[in-house]
Amino acid sequence: MGAVTTSRPTAFVPRVRWGIAGASDIADRVMAPAMRSASSAQLVAVASRSPERARAFADRHQVARTYDSVEGLARDSDVDAVYVATEVDRHRSDVLAVARAGKDVLVEKPIARTAAEGQEMVDACAAAGVRLGTCFYQRYNTRHLRIRELIVAGRIGRVVTSTLNFSGRSPEREGAWRQDPGRSGGGSFIDSASHCVDLLRFLFGEVRQVAAFTATLAAGYEVEDTATAILRLDGGVQATIAAHWSTTDPSDARSSMIAVGGSEGTIVSWPLHDKFSRGTLLLAYANGEREIPFPEASTHVALLDDWAARWAAGLPSAITGADGVAAQRVVDAVYESGRSGRMVTL
């Protein structure tokens, strides 16, 4: 099992005053509403290079102050921590700016375009004495926590395989930064499958070997739209990840799912992408299958509550910058294997 958990201290939790760097779609649709919903969080400021975009974001989410730079946001004395939701090519510079201001930082996944960039961020935050967390919200999905419990309890015997599919259609779109390798670091695998890599680490431990195919088959952009990886993890568990922007399938049970196969049974759950833990969790045996109950809950509210509890207790984030780097090393290995046609050992 992975060494890092999301166990939560039980001490009184004060409210963390957050600033958001980047008025992005994920910040607008998911994180800002979660900050407004979480009793442990208060959203006090937002920064965007576009003052108009920052003001519109602030109006939608009742944010008191706006800034046109991350540096200005990070200097705000009312900001305890900064959530960095800018484009991936800006993660390194924005995290370093927050660290220089002495503020804790939570960065969107992937942590950076490469593991080397991510390690710079980890080192800078360590030198500044600030916390760095990576926003791998999948660990807070109650279905995934239940999967972990089922595995630990031996409900499917010895775990031998896992299959994850996190795919959809992403046609060419002018100006889309995710389709620009210089800005994104890659395509479907770094963007979608980085979540799958971290979930595998959370469930089974470290990835040890990788073999992969990456290609652009249905689009004309430079990043891959089709990626398939085979991974060997601690304990010999074999996993496959499909991360395609080249396929259309309306069924989450096929295109946004995880299956864990054991010697005595199989766990199947979907959809991976749901941010409120809604979906289906099945436990299948030779004589039939049954649904496993789980509570619905916001993954991002849970993440914020956990951050605040650990912050109050003087503990690092449950999902650290080092976790972001570890996942990115696997992503880097997938791209290396795709280019070379060889298996990569980590």
Domain ranges of the chain: 16-137+300-319, 140-296+330-345
The answer to whether 329 and 346 are in contact (CB under 8 A) is yes
Structure confidence at residue 296 (pLDDT): 97
CATH topology of domain 16-137+300-319: Rossmann fold (3.40.50)
274's tokens = 């749901």
Question: How far from chain centre, in Å, is Cα 202?
Answer: 12
DSSP SS3 for 174: coil
DSSP SS3 for 112: coil
Beta bridge partners of 40: none
Categorise residue 157: left if φ over 0, alpha if ψ from -120 to 50, beta otherwise. Answer: left
The answer to whether 165 and 242 are in contact (CB under 8 A) is yes
57's tokens = 């974001």
Class of domain 140-296+330-345: alpha beta
pTM: 0.94
> What's the rounded Cα separation, in Å, for the pair 75 and 79?
8
CB proximity list for 116: less than 8 A, separation 6 or greater:
none
The answer to whether 201 and 328 are in contact (CB under 8 A) is no
Digit-by-digit pLDDT tens for the chain (346 residues) are 433 344 444 445 679 999 999 999 999 999 999 999 999 999 999 999 999 999 999 999 999 999 999 999 999 999 999 999 999 999 999 999 999 999 999 999 999 999 999 999 999 999 999 999 999 999 999 999 999 999 999 999 999 999 999 999 999 999 999 999 999 999 999 999 999 999 999 999 999 999 999 999 999 999 999 999 999 999 999 999 999 999 999 999 999 999 999 999 999 999 999 999 999 999 999 999 999 999 999 999 999 999 999 999 999 999 999 999 999 999 999 999 999 999 999 9
Structure confidence at residue 175 (pLDDT): 94
Structure confidence at residue 330 (pLDDT): 98
Structure confidence at residue 13 (pLDDT): 63
> What's the rounded Cα separation, in Å, for the pair 101 and 309?
22
